[in-house]
Amino acid sequence: MIAMALARRPSIFIADEITTALDVTIQAQILHLMREIRDKIDASTLIITHDLSVAAEVADRIAVMYGGNVAEIASTRELFENPMHPYTRMLLKAIPNISRPVERLESIPGTVPEMINPPTGCRFHPRCKFAKKVCASEVPRLKEVRENHEVACHLY
């Protein structure tokens, strides 16, 4: 399927959960192949994934989404080194780190919002330990808080 999608040399290649359900070896091969072909045909790639390790492996920039809204956009390095949105911070804390083993990984309390009737304001506010009154009523706008680093959060 990847070969068919790239055969016509598109200017953008959109891959939705392209490595889901693949073992780690095959996943690495697919990601390597995608980078190789992308560079050869000079195409932009939009990868949609729930796996931050996949995003870290192939992305120059990452947009973290929650409840259908963009929460944060930054370069891959900046996002992993300096996450700013509370959801991004919590996501990264939930990733196991073999250099700093912990007894128990952190989890994000609460439940994922219903998309038929989403929360008002910031969709993450019911689960956010930093939520303020404004978070429940106003949708935060995406704003640049550092060079090329945008966050949709009332904390900034």
Q: Is it the case that residue 108 has pLDDT exceeding 80? A: yes
Residue, of 33 and 70, whose pLDDT is higher = 70
Res 100: pLDDT: 76
Class in CATH terms, 2-109+141-151? alpha beta
Mean pLDDT of the chain: 89
pLDDT number for residue 149: 97
User: What residues have CB less than 8 Å from 131, skipping those under 6 apart?
Assistant: 122, 125
Once rounded to an integer, what is the mean pLDDT over residues 86-93?
Answer: 93
Residues in CB range of 115: below 8 A, 6 or more apart:
67, 68
pLDDT at 36 over 80: yes
Of the pLDDT bands very low, low, confident and very high (cuts 50, 70, 90), residue 128 is very high
The more confident residue out of 54 and 102 is 54
- DSSP type of residue 92: H
- Counting Cβ atoms within 10 Å, is residue 23 exposed (0-12), middle (13-18) or buried (19+)? exposed
DSSP conformational letter for 107: -
pLDDT, one tens digit per residue, over 12-26 is: 888 888 888 888 899
Structural domain boundaries in the chain: 2-109+141-151
pLDDT at 98 over 80: no
